Amino acid sequence: MAIQQGLVGVFIYLDDVLRAISKLNGGGITIKNVYSPVKSPEIIEAMEAKPSGIRPVSLIAGILGGCSGLALATYAHLRWNLITGGKPILPWIPWVVIFFEVLILIAVLSTVAALLIKGRIPRIHYGKGGYRPTFTGDRFGIEVYGGSSELGKARAIMKESGAEEIDEI
C-alpha cells in the first residue's frame, strides 16, 4: 500500500477554518478530515456532509427482524401443533410481544454492525496521520492528501486563510 503525502493545517479561529474549507472545496482539493474542539454546525454545513445511511439500515433490519420473528412463531405453532383448546389457530395478541422483541433485537444488532462498518472501526493507520492533541483543546485542523501540485495549492490556501502552522504528514 503506497503511503500518500498530506498536509494538516492548524487554525485558531473558526472563521479561518470555514474560509479555508470553502477555498479548498472550490479549488478541487479533497479534504479528508476536519478536526474541531467542539461540535460545529458551520463546519458540517461547509463540508456539505451527507446524512448517514445508518437510520435506513436500522429501519429495514427492524422490519425484517419483526417479520422473521412472526414467521418463526407461525412455523413453530403450525409445525408442532401448539393449538390449545378455545384459542385461535394463529393467536396474534401474544405474537405482538414476539414481533416487538425480535424487531428490537435485530435492529439494535444491525445498527451496531452498521456503526462499526461505517465508522471503519477498528481503524488501522499506516502512518502517523494528521491528528494533534491540541485539536481537542482550542485549535481546529484540516487534513488533506494528494499529489505535490495539489498539496502546494492546499498549502497556499491554508496559509492565505490564516493557518497557524502547516505540517506535512
CATH code for the domain defined by 6-37+137-168: 3.30.70.120
What are the domain boundaries of the chain?
6-37+137-168, 54-118
Q: Where are the beta strands (DSSP E) in 3-131?
A: 6-11, 31-35
Count of alpha carbons within 13 Å of 23, Cβ hemisphere only? 18
- Give the residue carrying C-alpha cell 470555514: 18
- Cβ–Cβ under 8 Å, residues 74 and 90: yes
* Lowest model confidence (mean pLDDT) among 15-19, 25-29, 112-116: 25-29
Nearest to 145 by CA among 42, 1, 5: 5
Q: What pLDDT, in 10s, does the model give residues 52-106?
A: 899 999 999 999 999 999 999 999 888 888 767 777 878 888 889 999 999 999 9
How many percent of the chain have pLDDT more than 90?
65
Count CA within 13 A, CB hemisphere, residue 151. Answer: 15
pLDDT of residue 55: 95
pTM: 0.69
